[in-house]
């Protein structure tokens, strides 16, 4: 049996709370976001896992979630690699806009297509397919080899960068991934086989809070 891969979406950010498109913008966690990350840390501590290395994005909401989890499992000083390959999807011209204002400007249907389609990017931004195109190579070259070597690896990132990984891990096609939403702060624990496919998956919390 190979190692373990734990994926966690960051806790609620200030812009999640304000209903703004965030993307590569860099707001911090809200108090609720800190609480969510802390609950995820407790779930992992109760699960009994100790990590060998952590990965996170270039954005503070994921970095702070990562640190809260490491503090919670007693590994505050663990080596953590930050890379923008794990950043949230870039929403381009939508970044910083209220989602209701965007609907008023471009129309409900167009904004829905930008948010939920697989390969239609918003103006100046990335589609989920584009996000995957930077997440997948990074996963294959930097993260997966460590898991296959038997390490326990934490990845604290974002809804869309993690949805890209779920396409690989859960073998979801471009239609199936559209209905997948990840709850904030809820760890997903994957144990991988030697051929990199999934042996088991445990969700340590309630995914019904996904948005």
Average pLDDT along the chain: 95
What is the tens place of the pLDDT at every residue in 25-43? Answer: 999 999 999 999 999 999 9
Confidence check: pLDDT of 210 > 60: no
The one catalytic residue among 10, 36, 126, 158: 10
In a domain, 160, yes or no: yes
The tokens of 1 are what?
């049996």
- Tell me the two tokens of residue 15: 């812009």
Q: Is residue 99 part of a domain?
A: no
Give per-residue pLDDT as tens, 166-183.
Answer: 999 999 999 999 999 999
Q: Is 18 domain-assigned?
A: yes
Can you give the C-alpha Rg of the chain in angstroms? 16
Q: What percent of the chain has pLDDT over 70?
A: 98
What does the alpha-carbon distance between residue 170 and residue 166 come to, in Å, rounded to a whole number? 5
Report how many domains make up the chain: 1
Q: Is there a contact between 21 and 102 (Cβ–Cβ < 8 Å)? A: yes
Q: Is 112 a catalytic residue?
A: no
- Domain assignment present for residue 152? The answer is yes
- Give CA–CA dist 21/121, Å, rounded: 14
Cα–Cα distance measured from residue 4 to residue 51, given in angstroms and rounded to the nearest whole number: 9
Convert the pLDDT of each residue in 123-136 to its tens digit: 999 999 999 999 99
What is the residue range of 31's domain? 4-90+128-209
pLDDT at 211: 52
Q: Residue 37: inside a domain, yes or no?
A: yes
Cβ-contact 190, 7 below 8 angstroms: yes
Confirm whether 53 is domain-assigned. yes
Residue of 36, 88, 126, 158 with catalytic role:
88
Tell me, yes or no, whether 97 lies in a domain: no
> Is 111 a member of any domain?
no
Residue scoring higher pLDDT (209 or 118): 118
Question: Mean pLDDT throughout 86-93?
Answer: 97
10 included as an active-site residue: yes
Three-state secondary-structure class, residue 59: coil
CA distance 25 to 27: 6
Quick one: pLDDT band at residue 2, thresholds 50, 70, 90?
Answer: confident
Mean pLDDT of all residues in 144-155? 97
CATH of the domain at 61: 3.40.50.1240
Q: What is the mean pLDDT of residues 78-92?
A: 98
């Amino acid at each position: 049996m190979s190692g373990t891969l734990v994926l966690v979406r960051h806790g609620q950010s200030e812009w999640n709370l304000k209903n703004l498109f965030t993307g590569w913008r860099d707001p911090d966690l809200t108090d609720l976001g800190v609480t969510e990350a802390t609950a995820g840390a407790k779930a992992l501590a109760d699960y009994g896992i100790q990590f060998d290395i952590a990965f996170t994005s270039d954005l503070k909401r994921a970095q702070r979630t990562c640190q809260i989890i490491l503090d919670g499992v007693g590994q505050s000083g663990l080596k953590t690699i930050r890379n923008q390959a794990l950043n949230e999807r870039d929403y381009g011209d939508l970044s910083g806009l209220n989602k209701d204002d965007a609907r008023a400007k471009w129309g409900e249907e167009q904004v829905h297509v930008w948010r939920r389609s697989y390969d239609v990017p918003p103006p100046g931004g990335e589609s989920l397919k584009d996000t995957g195109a930077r997440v997948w190579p990074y996963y294959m070259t930097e993260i997966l080899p460590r898991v296959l070597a038997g390490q326990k690896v934490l990845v604290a990132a974002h809804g869309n960068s993690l949805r890209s990984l779920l396409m690989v891990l859960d073998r979801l096609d471009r239609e199936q991934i559209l209905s997948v939403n990840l709850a904030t702060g809820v760890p997903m624990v994957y144990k991988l086989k030697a051929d990199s496919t999934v042996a088991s998956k445990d969700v340590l919390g309630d995914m019904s809070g996904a948005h």
